[in-house]
Each structure stands twice: as structure tokens, then as C-alpha cells.
Amino acid sequence: MSMIKCPECGHDVSTHAPSCPNCGCRIEHNLELCSFCGSYNIKQYKTCIKCGRSLTGDDDKVITFNAPETGVAEKTADNKQEENDNRKIQAAIAAQKVAEEEEAAALQAAAVANQMTETAMAEEATEKDAEESAATENTASNNDFSSKEISFSTESNAATQETQAETPSQQPAEEPSATVTDDEKPADTPSAETEDTTPTTAAANDAETSPQPAENTDKAQPAAQPEQKPEEKAEETEKPKKKSHAVAWICVSSLIIAGIVGLKVYSNYTAAKHEEEVYSQVIKNPCEANIKQYLDEFPNGAHRNKIYEMNQKLIKSKKDWQKIAESSSAEDFMQFIDTHPHDDLVPSAQAKIDSLAWMKASLNDTEDEYLRYLSTPAKYIGKQRHREEAESALNNINKKKVETADRSKVRSIFRKFFDAICNKDEATLKSTVAAPVKSFLNKPDATENDVVTFMRKVNTPDVSKLSYDMNGFIITKQFVEGKEECGYYTNFTLTQKKESSDRNKSGEKKFTVIARIDTNGKITEFNMKKVEQ
């Protein structure tokens, strides 16, 4: 018998009660236990009123949770594992209820044993009081019997003495008397009056002394006690032994039950403490291993409902991961981390994001992409595996980044070069180029004389005016290992304006120039290509 909540009104009622005292619903032989959540339902119900599971035994269909509007959902291969876990948990809940009922029965047995012990002790005390009262009554009756016996013996002695006193006074009448005169009586013979009074006085003295033994009746008590039969003595001896044995067995059984209950309580305390430790570990790190450990060790634990919910979330996270496992979008994995921040698959998602972000940055090879990679929150990217490479690439980009001062320096070097050509200044022209020039107008290892020859070829005697305009500089820094100074690689557009006595030579021409400047500020390469107009 156990106490449950009435399925109709929720009132406390026994499982053996004919009906609920609150709503009148029939209870006895009209209940059915839900195998999923362990709650009691009326047999006429088709689904459990608590969890919504089917009570008709149809295992192919279940009522889905948190979605009452969808009705009954078909089982699929994806939720078989979920249902197996649910069944294990419900079986554990039923086992927990049985254990609680057994513990309550043990406590009730201990209480009954204690009550029996107290009752036996009270009965024993009552019997002892009755025996003492009987002994007191026996003593009083023996005392009365002794007093009566002594009184009877005293009265007998008094009667005997009176008889003896009467006998001498009658003897003279029986004897034949002779006529004797007063003068013939001897002087020593006592008179009749004297003889009559002597026995009476003796009897009176005996009567006065006879009550004295009544004062010592207690001393005469042992002689007056009646003898008991052997059977009565044996019964009186066996009764205390049987009672003492019963009390001893009750005490021993009470100690055993108390010991069992104590061990049960201690075991429950130890288990509860360990359960709290494992639960704290799950809360700190709700991964699959910790959740599985809790459900395996404590299927009936106090926090099983919360752990069960966490396990359901874990199952959902696995399904979500299967959907994006082959995705090439970092945003998908970021969304997974936002949805399941404590899942075991978070490190895998972070690795995916890291790999995709680095691939994009290295392919574009721009300052913005490297900065975007380095600024990705650790929540999404974890430990950046390519951080050093990204920082190195960004440093190289920053080194190659040309400032205003660099542009002015490059422009001034070429301005000096072209002014020397226009002014036919060979010395200045030679100072602007390296010796040798690696490539000058597609001629490798050109000398300073080759550069002067170019100047003379352009600036012929018929030319009255020559000028060069430079536009559209694109400059890139170039570093040499072991040197702080840098060289420059540049290309720009060059416009040549010439006035000559020969009209065919006069006019404008445009060229594309590709050149290099070394760390000493000398031109090491100079090539031009005419732009067709």
C-alpha cells in the first residue's frame, strides 16, 4: 500500500482505497502505472496525464513533448536512442520509488519494534508490581494466621489451667468425710476458702500473662506459612524466564533493525554527497562524458530531470552538427557555437572557423583580411593556429606600405634623372644611376656611358626644348635582409614633350616606365614602353 495523488483531483489517497474521498473517483483496481514517467493513471485513460505517453502498449507511436499541436509522431531511426534513454530513466524512477517504499517499511518496522519493546517493559513492570502486591498479601495473611494460632494456644492454656483449678475443690466432696470438731482440726490444715482461692489466683495470673506472646507474632511467622506444590513453584519459575527471553529477543531484533536503518541512512548520505559532486562537475562542464557518467551512476539521482534535459540538448546538438559538418561557411559554425556553447563539438567548430578564415586571408593577402582573421573573437576561433603567420604577413604588408615621404623620395630621384637629360648634364645623370645598371632600356648590365648615349640620342641639336612629366606613381617597398634601408619598385606614366626644327620630331609621346631604386637611392633598372595613341 502506498500514498499517491488522485489522477482526477490531485488529492492524497491510498492505492487500496475504494475511491477518492475528495472527488469520488474509483481508485482500487482502477489504476495503471505509466512505464515512462512512473505516474498513476485511471485505466480508462489512453495517454499519461503527466508525460503524454501512450498507455495502450503501442510502442510504434508516442505523443511528442512540447508540441501538443502536432499530435502523434512516427518513430524514426534518429529518436530510437532518445527513447532508449527515456526508458532507462523511467525504470530507474520506478526502482527509486520501490527503494523509498522499502526504506519507509524499514523505518515503520523499527518504530513497531520500539513500541513492542516499550509495551513488554511496561507489562513486565506491571507483573512485578502484581507479584510484590501478592507477596505482601501473603505475608499479611500468614501474619494473621500466626496471630490466630497463638491466640488459640493461649486460650487453650487458659482453659486447661481453669480445669486444673476446679479439680482440687471437687476432690474433698468425693472422699468420705468424718465428723471432726473444730478442736480436733489440725492447725496446719488450710481452710476451704484458702484452697478455693489459690487455684483461681493462679489461673488469673496465667490469664494475665497469656497475651504477651501476641506481641512477637512476626517472629513466629515462618512457622505458620503454608507449603506450595512443586508444580506451582515450577510454573512461577518458568514465567520470568519466558518473559526475559521474549524481552531479549525483542531487544536484539530492535538493535538489528536499528543497525540496518542506520546503515541505510549512512549509505544514502554518502551516495547523496557523491551525487552532488558529480552533479557539480556536470554543471561546470556539461559535456557528453560527464552527463553519461551521472546517468550511469545515479539513474535515480535528485537532479536526474535536469540532467535528462541536458542530455536531450546534447542529442539535438549532434543533429545540428551533422547538418553543417561539410559546410564551407564560417558563419554556420559560428551559429552552432552560439546555439550550443558548452557542447563537446565546440572545439571542432572553432577549428573549422580558424581554417576557413585563414584560407580566405592568405588567398586575398590584404591588410584587411589579415586584420579580420586576427580580430576574430576567441569564442569562435579558439586558439588561432595561424596567428604567427598572419602577424608576419601583416608586418610585411605594413613594411611595403608606402608613406608620403617615400613617394616624395622616389619622385625626386626620377625628377633629377630627367632634368639632367633635358639639361644635357652628364655628371648629374651619372650620379642618379648605379654602376652597372642591371637593365637599362632592356639592355642588361648597362654602364654609365650607355645612359649618357641615351641622353644624347634624345637631346639632338635640332631640339630646341625638351621636358618630361611623370604621373600615376605606383610604389612598392623592397627590403634587403640585414639592412634597415629599403629599395623601391615603381611604375608610372611618362609624357615627353619635344620642340624641334624638324616638325616630324616635335610633339608629345607617352611611355610606361618600370624601374627599381636600390637602398642607396640609385636607379638599378630602367625600362620604357611606348604607349600607342
- Residue-wise pLDDT for 440-476, tens only, equals 999 999 999 999 999 999 988 888 899 999 999 988 8
Q: How far apart are CA 300 and CA 271, in angstroms?
A: 11
Q: What is the spatial distance between Cα 193 and Cα 175, in angstroms, rounded to a whole number?
A: 18
Question: Mean pLDDT throughout 211-216?
Answer: 43
C-alpha cell at 205: 495470673
Task: With a cut of 90, say whether residue 522 has pLDDT above it.
Answer: yes
Strands 40-42 vs 31-33: parallel, antiparallel or unpaired: antiparallel
Predicted local distance difference test score (pLDDT) of residue 289: 86
Map grid coordinates 639592355 to a residue. 443
Measured CA to CA, the distance from residue 482 to residue 193 in angstroms comes to 178
Percent of the chain with pLDDT over 70: 70
Confidence class for position 213, pLDDT limits 50, 70, 90: very low
CA distance 305 to 205: 107
pLDDT for the residue numbered 92: 65
Q: Mean of the pLDDT values across residues 74-94?
A: 60
* For the ranges 116-120, 206-210, 242-246, 390-394, the one whose mean pLDDT is highest: 390-394
Element (H, E) at 281: helix 230-284
Instruction: Look at 111 and 253; give whichever has higher pLDDT.
Output: 253
Residues with Cβ within 8 Å of 311's Cβ and at least 6 positions away in sequence, in order, are 85, 291, 295
Q: Look at residue 144 in the predicted model and tell me its pLDDT.
A: 53
312-349 burial, b for 16+ CB within 10 Å, e for fewer? eebeebeebbeebeeeeebebbbebbeebeebbbbeeb
- Is the pLDDT at 105 greater than 60? The verdict is yes
The per-residue pLDDT for 517 is 94
pTM of the model: 0.39
Instruction: Look at residue 204 and tell me whether its pLDDT is greater than 70.
Output: no
Name the more confident of 205 and 333.
333
37-41, 53-57, 90-94, 186-190: segment of lowest average pLDDT: 186-190
Is the model's pLDDT at 76 over the cut of 60?
Answer: no
pLDDT band at 209 (very low <50, low <70, confident <90, very high): very low
pLDDT: which is higher, 406 or 122: 406
Sequence-distant contacts of 383-390: CB under 8 A, at least 24 apart = 384/354, 385/351, 385/354, 385/355, 385/358, 386/354, 386/358, 386/362, 389/358, 389/362, 390/358, 390/361
Q: Mean pLDDT, to the nearest integer, of 44-64? A: 67
Q: What is the mean pLDDT of residues 324-345?
A: 89
What residues contact residue 55 under an 8 Å CB cut-off, 6+ apart? Answer: 32, 34, 41, 45, 46, 47, 48
The pLDDT of residue 312? 87
- pLDDT at res. 396: 82
pLDDT at 195: 39
Q: Residue 262 has which C-alpha cell?
A: 542506520
- Cis peptide upstream of residue 461 (ω within 30 degrees of 0): no
Cβ–Cβ under 8 Å, residues 290 and 296: no
Chain centre distance of CA 161: 106
Asked if the model's pLDDT at residue 439 lies above 90, the reply is: yes
Identify the weakest region by mean pLDDT among 86-95, 199-208, 379-388.
199-208
pLDDT given at position 265? 87
Q: What is the structure's pLDDT at 220?
A: 40
Confidence grade of residue 332 (pLDDT, cut at 50, 70, 90): very high
The span from the CA of 470 to the CA of 422, in Å, is: 14
The mean pLDDT value for 144-166 works out to 48
Q: Is the pLDDT of residue 71 over 90?
A: no
Mean pLDDT of 495-513: 90
Contacts of 512 (CB under 8 A, 6+ apart): 491, 492, 493, 494, 528, 529, 531
Residue that wins the pLDDT comparison between 488 and 140: 488
* Pairwise CA distance, residues 358 & 385, whole Å: 9
**Average pLDDT across the chain, whole number:** 76
CB atoms within 10 A of CB 23: 13
8 phi/psi in degrees, rounded to 5: -90, -50
DSSP 388-439: HHHHHHHHHHHHH---HHHHHHHHHHHHHHHHHHHTT-HHHHHHTB-SSEEE
Structural Rg of the chain based on CA atoms? 66
pLDDT value of position 226: 52
The DSSP bridge partners found for residue 511 are 494, 530
C-alpha 323: how far from chain center: 32
Contact 90, 308 (CB under 8 A): no
What is the predicted pLDDT for the residue at 86? 64
* CB count in 10 Å sphere of residue 516: 20
Instruction: Supply the DSSP symbol for 221.
Output: G
Mean pLDDT along residues 262-267: 85
Instruction: Tell me how far the alpha carbon of residue 41 is from its chain's centroid.
Output: 31
Residue with cell 615621404: 405
- Say yes or no to pLDDT of 235 above 70: no
Amino acid identity for residue 13 in this structure: V
d(CA 72, CA 60): 10
Question: 18 — alpha (psi -120 to 50), left (phi > 0) or beta?
Answer: alpha
CA nearest neighbour of 311 among 63, 83, 53: 83
Average pLDDT of span 522-528: 95
- Distance separating alpha carbons of residues 55 and 59, to the nearest angstrom: 10
